[in-house]
Amino acid sequence: MAIAQTPHNLTALLLFIDTHIIDATDHATVCLRRLRDEGWINLQRTDAMDTELADAPAEKWARLTEASASYPEALGPIVWGQSRWDSSVFGSEEDQARLDNVFAILFPNADRATARDNHIRDAMHVSTAIRYGGFGFITRERRLLNKAVLIAERFHGFRMWSPEDALAEAAARIRGVRELHRREPYRGTLPTWPTEGDLPEEPE
């Protein structure tokens, strides 16, 4: 007997997550993880995540690394002093320009040569997400979210989203997919969760 397969990214929504999202317990993040598990969306991490986790206290490292392992990893271009050599790729001039542009937008008053590690890694997260065609990056870091408009203008609408904003986008897409399947039932069945009551309300 054939085993039913979980559908994969029914809404074609690919989002990358910041390191602090992997074990967050707020309602929006928990819902996003479940939407991934149900096959509605795709959540991924960049190679910068495990670089950041290497700095975690020993008692947290194992738990956080196990949590990060459940997400596919996109390997970003090597950044000297930051990348793990076995989990990165050789970049092109385009990769270098993208990272430079992202860093300049996120931290306009900083010099990359002397910048804090976490600032460089934030730029690595975002530039790698853009490199692999992500629709957006989920974070709660206000200094990143404050640059959302500038990032979108420079990188063709790439989103910098809080979990709540990401969930609202996923909900809108789920409604669209369900309407398409209602009109064209031959497309097959959809996951039963979430129900309409589980989704954020549509804006007025």
Predicted local distance difference test score (pLDDT) of residue 81: 76
Q: What is the pLDDT of residues 65-106, one digit of tens each?
A: 888 999 999 999 988 878 777 778 888 999 999 999 999 999
Predicted local distance difference test score (pLDDT) of residue 1: 39
Q: What is the pLDDT of residues 107-146, one digit of tens each?
A: 999 988 889 999 999 999 999 999 999 999 999 999 999 9
Q: What is the pLDDT of residues 141-195, one digit of tens each?
A: 999 999 999 999 999 999 999 999 999 999 999 999 999 999 999 998 999 999 9
Domain ranges of the chain: 14-75+133-198
Can you name the residues that pair with 160 across neighbouring β-strands?
Answer: 137
In this structure, what DSSP letter does residue 93 have? H
Q: Are 15 and 44 in contact (CB under 8 A)?
A: yes
Arithmetic mean of pLDDT over the chain: 91
Predicted local distance difference test score (pLDDT) of residue 3: 47
Torsion sign, CA atoms 201, 195, 177, 38: positive
Q: What is the pLDDT of residues 56-66, one digit of tens each?
A: 888 888 888 88
Provide the percentage of residues in the chain whose pLDDT is more than 90.
Answer: 70
Residue 82: how many other CB atoms lie within 10 Å? 17
- CATH tag for 14-75+133-198 (out of 3.40.50, 3.30.70, 3.30.310, 1.20.120): 3.40.50
The pTM of this model reads: 0.92
